[in-house]
Amino acid sequence: MNQQLETQVLIIGGGVTGTGLARDLALRGVGCLLVEKQDINAGASGGNHGLLHSGARYILSDPASARECRDEGSIIKRLAPQCVEETGGLFVAVEGDDQGYIADFADRCAQCGITTVAVDPKEALEMEPCVSPDTIAAFAVEDGSIDPFKLSLDNLAQAGTLGTAQLLHHKVVGFVKRAGHIETVLLTDLRNGSEVCVHADQIVNASGAWAGEVAAMAGALINMVYSQGSLIISQMRLGERVINRLRKAADADILVPAGTVSIFGTTSRRIDSPDQCRPTTAEIDAMLDDGMAMVPKLAETRFIRAYAGVRPLVRFGNGSDDRAVSRGFSLLDHELDGLDNFITITGGKLTTYRLMAEKTANLVCRRLGNSTACRTAEEPLPASSEARYTEPGFTPKMWFKKKDPSDLLLCECEMVPTSVFNEIAASLSTNGHRPGLREMGQRSRVGKGPCQGSFCSLRMAAHMYNEDLLQKGEGIDELKDFLNERWRGMQPLLWGPAVSQAELQEALHCGLLGLDVSETT
């Protein structure tokens, strides 16, 4: 018999918008169930720069979005400081960049209320030695770096304390409608194939790049544009600030510090489906060739991983340039499609997630007759224990401070011990989820160091057997799933030291353990 669940609001999508919406509604006393077909931040919320925008990047292409970023970035810094590193940022121009854009930059920022300070090129080079000595202009802005995983987990954790439930690895497969009203949402548990039926007063489609597919199942049409953005992660941190190319938004023009590493990108490449999102070697090569004009050190940097996310853009009208499509968000009331309890929120940026959640919650609450005001613009986001291990450098400090020789390290690159693994596994189990290797990677730093899981994957699997979290041949499936995801990010970077690392991983996992051999062979 199918499992039957009831809730006031069903939120489809476990990215930063969905989790932010869950918190907003929970603070207003609304009961919610959040469902996600994979894990938290599996889509664009986990495939971005981690850039907390000042708004300066959008002053020409989308001034409205620039102002939203300015305001929302300030709110996040004030209310969720545990998720933010206030690095500051530099916009730098090099020989050959558009002189007109450079000359107008400060005035355009001022028109959007964005603070800039002109910096002498020589001083910019002293501030950030990695920038090009050919820098001809520079401006300081209020950019920052944000941890999207900590942000989503903290939002979901507070929502959970207020009664929000969650179902991970559950995919929406259909809707049952009657007279313009969705009576039942059909879910499938992707881990065991069981079916779940959810009855909700209101349904919010916050599935990001998959919003069009979910809406189509309900009989609503959204004209989605899928723009892939690819990024690469350096082994070491290259700069202290966010470094932007001082030109109209293009590929290969942002370097963001992220704890002990840096993230460089991005690109804008049209794809036909969000499921096709994957970085390519040609894309990475072109990005590095262009980026070295701004940061020459990219030429000699070791990169440990490439990844990509899909910008969930909604097109209104015609046009072919994806960068010309607004980076603002789209809140779609599907009453126009004959559905009185279905809403879609998509588009936007990580920096504006809170505003997106607020506007969506306002619409939901009007339909529910709930007049409680939004509190997320004033009330701090509590730091949760579930999210603390996503912070680079936190686990090593904790481990050395404990000085417990029995607390063995599972991941040497990121210094993640068994105690951290056990704590995360217990938290997942408490929320009704079975711990897995990829789930551990999302909530800690395991597998994210230079070896990309070559050694820690085996130690984690062995530890899971010791803790009765795996039975019989389940560990082989877990290892394959975890390592295949790591391989997706290594494959586009196979040159220099990365080739040696890949050869070692192949020898260990294929040559020694035979993970590349199918069970039927």
> Mind giving me the DSSP string for 215-230?
HHHTT----EEEEEEE
Lowest mean pLDDT among 34-43, 277-286, 327-336: 327-336
State the pLDDT at residue 13: 98
Give residue-wise pLDDT tens across range 62-117: 999 999 999 999 999 999 999 999 999 999 999 999 999 999 999 999 999 999 99
Given a contact cutoff of 8 angstroms between Cβ atoms, the answer to whether 293 and 323 are in contact is no
pTM, 2 dp: 0.94
Phi first, then psi, for residue 115 (nearest 5°) are: -75, 130
State the pLDDT at residue 335: 93
CA distance 155 to 22: 8
Sketch the domain layout of the chain as residue ranges: 85-144+225-311, 393-512
Positive or negative, the Cα torsion across 463, 396, 154, 233? negative
Lowest mean pLDDT among 87-96, 159-168, 491-500: 491-500
Residue 451 or residue 102, greater confidence: 102
Name the nearest CA neighbour of 309 among 12, 15, 11, 37: 15
State the pLDDT at residue 496: 85
State the pLDDT at residue 498: 84
Go through 262-291 and write b for each residue having 16 or more CB atoms within 10 A of its CB, e for each that does not: bbbbbbbbebeebeebbbbeebbeebbebb
**318, pLDDT greater than 70:** no
**CATH class, 85-144+225-311 region:** alpha beta
CA distance 38 to 172: 11
CA distance 445 to 412: 10
State the pLDDT at residue 324: 45
Given a contact cutoff of 8 angstroms between Cβ atoms, the answer to whether 229 and 23 are in contact is no
Go through 455-494 and write b for each residue having 16 or more CB atoms within 10 A of its CB, e for each that does not: bbbbbbbebbeeeebbeeeebeebbeebbebbebbbebbe
**503, pLDDT greater than 70:** yes
Concatenating the DSSP letter of every residue in 378-441 gives: TS-----GGGGGGSTTHHHHHHHHH--TTS-EEETTTTEEHHHHHHHHHHHHHTT----HHHHH
State the pLDDT at residue 44: 92
Strand partners, 93: 137
Given a contact cutoff of 8 angstroms between Cβ atoms, the answer to whether 279 and 264 are in contact is no
Residue 520: band (very low, low, confident or very high) from pLDDT cuts 50, 70, 90: very low
Give residue-wise pLDDT tens across range 368-420: 999 999 999 999 999 998 898 988 778 888 888 888 889 999 999 999 999 99
Give residue-wise pLDDT tens across range 193-234: 999 999 999 999 999 999 999 999 999 999 999 999 999 999
State the pLDDT at residue 317: 53
**260, pLDDT greater than 50:** yes
Residue 118: band (very low, low, confident or very high) from pLDDT cuts 50, 70, 90: very high
DSSP state, residue 511:
I
Strand partners, 242: 89
State the pLDDT at residue 1: 60
| E strand or H helix at 126 | helix 121-127
Mean pLDDT score, 333-355: 95
For residue 419, the tally of other CB atoms under 10 A from its CB is 17
For residue 118, the tally of other CB atoms under 10 A from its CB is 12
**519, pLDDT greater than 60:** no
Mean of the per-residue pLDDT values of the chain: 93
